[in-house]
Amino acid sequence: MAPYLQAVGGEWDAALALYDANARVSAAFFESIHYLEVGLRNAINDAVTARVDPDWLTAGSPVLTANSRGVVAAAQRHAGGLGASRDKVIAELPFGFWWSLLADEYNRRLWQPALRHAFEGSVRRRVLHAGLDEVRRLRNRIAHHEPIHTRDLATDYRRVVDIANRVGPALGDHIAAISRVPALLLATTVEPGEAAGQVTG
Protein backbone atom coordinates (compact mmCIF):
# COMPACT_ATOMS: atom_id res chain seq x y z
CA MET A 1 0.00 0.00 0.00
CA ALA A 2 3.02 2.31 0.27
CA PRO A 3 2.62 4.03 -3.14
CA TYR A 4 -1.05 4.67 -2.44
CA LEU A 5 -0.44 5.99 1.08
CA GLN A 6 2.26 8.28 -0.26
CA ALA A 7 -0.09 9.59 -2.97
CA VAL A 8 -2.75 10.64 -0.45
CA GLY A 9 -0.62 11.88 2.42
CA GLY A 10 -0.74 8.72 4.54
CA GLU A 11 -4.50 8.53 5.16
CA TRP A 12 -5.49 4.86 5.11
CA ASP A 13 -9.11 5.13 3.92
CA ALA A 14 -8.10 7.43 1.08
CA ALA A 15 -5.25 5.09 0.13
CA LEU A 16 -7.61 2.11 0.05
CA ALA A 17 -10.07 4.05 -2.10
CA LEU A 18 -7.25 4.93 -4.49
CA TYR A 19 -6.20 1.28 -4.59
CA ASP A 20 -9.77 0.30 -5.49
CA ALA A 21 -9.95 2.98 -8.18
CA ASN A 22 -6.60 1.84 -9.58
CA ALA A 23 -7.88 -1.76 -9.76
CA ARG A 24 -11.06 -0.70 -11.57
CA VAL A 25 -9.34 1.39 -14.21
CA SER A 26 -6.64 -1.30 -14.64
CA ALA A 27 -9.32 -3.89 -15.39
CA ALA A 28 -10.96 -1.55 -17.89
CA PHE A 29 -7.66 -0.86 -19.63
CA PHE A 30 -6.90 -4.57 -19.81
CA GLU A 31 -10.17 -5.12 -21.71
CA SER A 32 -9.30 -2.45 -24.26
CA ILE A 33 -5.72 -3.67 -24.65
CA HIS A 34 -7.09 -7.21 -25.08
CA TYR A 35 -8.91 -6.15 -28.26
CA LEU A 36 -5.89 -4.23 -29.52
CA GLU A 37 -3.51 -7.12 -28.92
CA VAL A 38 -5.67 -9.68 -30.71
CA GLY A 39 -6.21 -7.34 -33.66
CA LEU A 40 -2.52 -6.46 -33.84
CA ARG A 41 -1.23 -10.01 -33.81
CA ASN A 42 -3.75 -11.13 -36.42
CA ALA A 43 -2.89 -8.21 -38.71
CA ILE A 44 0.84 -8.87 -38.41
CA ASN A 45 0.48 -12.60 -38.97
CA ASP A 46 -1.76 -12.10 -42.01
CA ALA A 47 0.61 -9.58 -43.59
CA VAL A 48 3.79 -11.63 -43.12
CA THR A 49 2.08 -14.87 -44.14
CA ALA A 50 0.77 -13.32 -47.36
CA ARG A 51 3.78 -11.25 -48.37
CA VAL A 52 6.93 -12.87 -46.95
CA ASP A 53 6.64 -16.52 -45.90
CA PRO A 54 3.54 -18.61 -45.11
CA ASP A 55 5.65 -20.63 -42.64
CA TRP A 56 7.33 -17.65 -40.97
CA LEU A 57 6.05 -18.40 -37.47
CA THR A 58 8.32 -21.35 -36.67
CA ALA A 59 11.37 -21.83 -34.46
CA GLY A 60 13.50 -22.22 -37.58
CA SER A 61 12.14 -19.24 -39.51
CA PRO A 62 14.84 -17.48 -41.58
CA VAL A 63 13.03 -14.13 -41.36
CA LEU A 64 13.18 -13.99 -37.55
CA THR A 65 16.17 -13.10 -35.38
CA ALA A 66 17.64 -15.72 -33.06
CA ASN A 67 15.95 -14.09 -30.08
CA SER A 68 12.55 -14.09 -31.79
CA ARG A 69 12.98 -17.72 -32.83
CA GLY A 70 13.59 -18.57 -29.18
CA VAL A 71 10.34 -16.85 -28.19
CA VAL A 72 8.47 -18.76 -30.88
CA ALA A 73 10.04 -22.05 -29.74
CA ALA A 74 8.86 -21.41 -26.16
CA ALA A 75 5.36 -20.53 -27.39
CA GLN A 76 5.31 -23.71 -29.46
CA ARG A 77 6.19 -25.80 -26.41
CA HIS A 78 3.47 -24.15 -24.35
CA ALA A 79 0.99 -24.66 -27.19
CA GLY A 80 1.57 -28.43 -27.22
CA GLY A 81 4.76 -29.03 -29.17
CA LEU A 82 5.71 -29.27 -32.83
CA GLY A 83 2.23 -30.40 -33.83
CA ALA A 84 0.54 -27.35 -32.30
CA SER A 85 -1.66 -25.33 -34.63
CA ARG A 86 -0.67 -21.86 -35.81
CA ASP A 87 -3.57 -20.35 -33.87
CA LYS A 88 -2.41 -21.93 -30.62
CA VAL A 89 1.16 -20.73 -31.12
CA ILE A 90 -0.07 -17.19 -31.84
CA ALA A 91 -2.14 -17.24 -28.66
CA GLU A 92 0.95 -18.18 -26.62
CA LEU A 93 3.16 -15.42 -27.98
CA PRO A 94 3.53 -12.41 -25.64
CA PHE A 95 2.64 -8.84 -26.54
CA GLY A 96 6.34 -8.02 -26.51
CA PHE A 97 6.97 -10.41 -29.40
CA TRP A 98 4.58 -8.53 -31.72
CA TRP A 99 5.97 -5.18 -30.55
CA SER A 100 9.54 -6.37 -31.28
CA LEU A 101 8.67 -7.04 -34.93
CA LEU A 102 8.40 -3.28 -35.48
CA ALA A 103 11.95 -2.60 -34.23
CA ASP A 104 14.77 -1.31 -36.45
CA GLU A 105 16.22 -4.78 -36.95
CA TYR A 106 13.06 -5.82 -38.79
CA ASN A 107 12.79 -2.76 -41.03
CA ARG A 108 14.08 -4.52 -44.14
CA ARG A 109 13.07 -8.06 -43.18
CA LEU A 110 9.42 -7.46 -42.35
CA TRP A 111 8.33 -3.81 -42.29
CA GLN A 112 9.14 -2.81 -45.85
CA PRO A 113 7.91 -5.98 -47.59
CA ALA A 114 4.90 -6.71 -45.39
CA LEU A 115 4.13 -4.99 -42.12
CA ARG A 116 3.61 -1.50 -43.51
CA HIS A 117 0.65 -3.03 -45.34
CA ALA A 118 -0.83 -4.31 -42.08
CA PHE A 119 -1.83 -0.80 -40.97
CA GLU A 120 -4.22 1.83 -42.25
CA GLY A 121 -3.03 5.13 -43.68
CA SER A 122 0.43 6.62 -43.45
CA VAL A 123 2.19 4.95 -40.52
CA ARG A 124 5.74 5.65 -39.36
CA ARG A 125 7.30 2.47 -38.03
CA ARG A 126 9.35 4.08 -35.26
CA VAL A 127 6.39 6.11 -34.00
CA LEU A 128 4.23 3.00 -33.98
CA HIS A 129 6.95 1.00 -32.22
CA ALA A 130 7.33 3.68 -29.54
CA GLY A 131 3.56 3.90 -29.02
CA LEU A 132 3.24 0.15 -28.66
CA ASP A 133 6.11 0.19 -26.17
CA GLU A 134 4.06 2.49 -23.94
CA VAL A 135 1.06 0.17 -24.28
CA ARG A 136 3.32 -2.79 -23.49
CA ARG A 137 4.63 -1.10 -20.35
CA LEU A 138 1.11 -0.24 -19.22
CA ARG A 139 -0.07 -3.80 -19.91
CA ASN A 140 2.80 -5.24 -17.90
CA ARG A 141 2.11 -3.01 -14.90
CA ILE A 142 -1.54 -4.05 -14.97
CA ALA A 143 -0.65 -7.74 -15.32
CA HIS A 144 1.62 -7.49 -12.26
CA HIS A 145 -0.97 -5.56 -10.23
CA GLU A 146 1.20 -2.44 -10.06
CA PRO A 147 -0.10 1.12 -9.62
CA ILE A 148 -0.95 2.93 -12.84
CA HIS A 149 -2.61 5.98 -11.25
CA THR A 150 0.56 8.06 -11.67
CA ARG A 151 0.50 7.68 -15.47
CA ASP A 152 -1.24 10.05 -17.85
CA LEU A 153 -4.11 7.62 -18.32
CA ALA A 154 -6.09 9.86 -20.69
CA THR A 155 -3.10 9.87 -23.05
CA ASP A 156 -2.69 6.11 -22.59
CA TYR A 157 -6.30 5.57 -23.60
CA ARG A 158 -6.03 7.80 -26.67
CA ARG A 159 -2.90 5.90 -27.66
CA VAL A 160 -4.68 2.52 -27.44
CA VAL A 161 -7.57 3.76 -29.60
CA ASP A 162 -5.25 5.46 -32.10
CA ILE A 163 -3.14 2.34 -32.63
CA ALA A 164 -6.29 0.24 -32.88
CA ASN A 165 -7.52 2.60 -35.61
CA ARG A 166 -4.23 2.02 -37.43
CA VAL A 167 -4.87 -1.72 -37.30
CA GLY A 168 -8.39 -1.09 -38.60
CA PRO A 169 -11.03 1.61 -38.09
CA ALA A 170 -13.61 -0.99 -37.09
CA LEU A 171 -11.35 -2.15 -34.26
CA GLY A 172 -10.75 1.36 -33.00
CA ASP A 173 -14.45 2.19 -33.19
CA HIS A 174 -15.37 -0.95 -31.27
CA ILE A 175 -12.91 -0.23 -28.46
CA ALA A 176 -14.11 3.38 -28.22
CA ALA A 177 -17.73 2.22 -28.13
CA ILE A 178 -17.41 -0.33 -25.34
CA SER A 179 -14.43 0.76 -23.24
CA ARG A 180 -15.14 1.64 -19.62
CA VAL A 181 -11.93 3.65 -19.33
CA PRO A 182 -13.25 7.15 -20.23
CA ALA A 183 -16.14 6.95 -17.76
CA LEU A 184 -13.85 5.70 -14.98
CA LEU A 185 -11.34 8.47 -15.61
CA LEU A 186 -14.12 11.05 -15.37
CA ALA A 187 -15.57 9.49 -12.23
CA THR A 188 -12.34 9.12 -10.25
CA THR A 189 -10.05 11.95 -9.22
CA VAL A 190 -7.36 12.30 -6.61
CA GLU A 191 -7.38 15.61 -4.78
CA PRO A 192 -4.71 16.44 -2.17
CA GLY A 193 -6.09 17.76 1.13
CA GLU A 194 -4.32 19.97 3.65
CA ALA A 195 -2.88 17.10 5.68
CA ALA A 196 -4.00 14.04 3.78
CA GLY A 197 -5.18 13.17 0.29
CA GLN A 198 -8.74 12.53 -0.59
CA VAL A 199 -10.14 10.24 -3.27
CA THR A 200 -13.43 11.25 -4.78
CA GLY A 201 -15.56 9.63 -7.38
Instruction: Give the tens place of pLDDT for each residue, 131-166.
Output: 999 999 999 999 999 999 999 999 999 999 999 999
Phi-psi map region of 121: left, alpha, beta (phi>0 left; psi -120 to 50 alpha):
left
Domain assignment present for residue 87? The answer is: no
Position 152 scores a pLDDT of: 96
Output 198 or 184, whichever has higher pLDDT.
Answer: 184
Could you tell me the residue range of the domain that residue 37 belongs to?
10-53+95-200
Amino acid in position 110: L
Is the Cα torsion angle 132, 136, 142, 146 positive or negative in sign?
Answer: negative
The mean pLDDT value for 73-93 works out to 95
Domain assignment present for residue 71? The answer is: no
Domain assignment present for residue 86? The answer is: no
Instruction: Please tell me the pTM assigned to this model.
Output: 0.89
Query: Does 176 score more than 60 pLDDT?
Result: yes
Domain assignment present for residue 164? The answer is: yes
Domain assignment present for residue 62? The answer is: no
Q: Provide the CB-side half-sphere exposure for 93 (13 A, CA).
A: 29
Q: CA-CA distance, 53 to 133, in Å (whole number)?
A: 26
Domain assignment present for residue 67? The answer is: no
Domain assignment present for residue 5? The answer is: no
Count: domains in the chain: 1
